[in-house]
Amino acid sequence: MKIILTGSTGFIGHEILTQCLRNPHITSIIALSRRPLPTNNPKLTVRLVDGFLTYPESLLQELRGAEAFMVYVKMKDMIYDTNGGYEQGQVENELTDYEKNNNNVEVYIARPGMVLARGMSLRTVVFGMGPSIWVDDLAKVLVDVAVKGDGDGERILENERMLRWEH
């Protein structure tokens, strides 16, 4: 399975890349990155890009045939609702609209709570006593969804559901 990955230099994206490299179902990873990555694994090809909105034709040709496109970005565009809550956000809405208009595309949106690094101090863990998930557990779920999909048909992966993931 060939996948495309963005965000692989960040805290969560790096763990997703690690899990992809370990997964025997994934045979080829093209990491789109703004910064160089170590490429000592034959499964990994790194392509440096200036941004993630437009790509040269040569790169688009290389990306053809990928079965999954894993984008991990921080959700900075949450919109505050005067009723005291938050709307889903523009990016999520655009992705779900894209899925509706493209029958061969499945969009999954992860909404983890606080993402914790293994080995974090007890003080840090206590500080984040809200919903949380270990970074490696989150990455395993996301890679599993990219490889197998979700038989339950759920497209939104909330923190609680990811904690119980057994697919």
pLDDT for residue 161 is more than 80? yes
Q: In the chain, what is the straight-line distance between the N-terminal and C-terminal CA atoms, in Å?
A: 18
What does the pLDDT read at residue 94?
Answer: 79
Domain ranges, residue 148: 2-73+108-163
Structurally, how many domains does the chain consist of?
1
Is 81 among the domain residues?
Answer: no
For the record, the structure tokens of 43 come out as 């499964």
**Does 102 reside within a domain?**
no
- Residue 85 within any structural domain of the chain: no
Q: Which whole number is the average pLDDT over 60-83?
A: 69
- Residue-wise pLDDT tens digits, 147-160: 998 878 788 899 99
Find the CATH number of the domain harbouring 27: 3.40.50.720
The three state secondary structure string of the chain is: CEEEEECCCCHHHHHHHHHHHHCCCCCEEEEEECCCCCCCCCCEEEEECCCCCCCCHHHHHHHCCCCEEEECCCCCCCCECCCCCECCCHHHHHHHHHHHHCCCCCCCEEECCEEECCCCCHHHHHHCCCCEEEHHHHHHHHHHHHHHCCCCCCCEEEHHHHHCCCC
Within-domain flag for 92: no
The per-residue pLDDT for range 3-54, each reduced to its tens digit, is: 999 888 888 999 999 999 999 999 999 999 989 998 889 999 999 988 777 8
pLDDT of 116 > 50? The answer is yes
Contacts of 125 (CB under 8 A, 6+ apart): 116, 132
pLDDT for the residue 81: 47
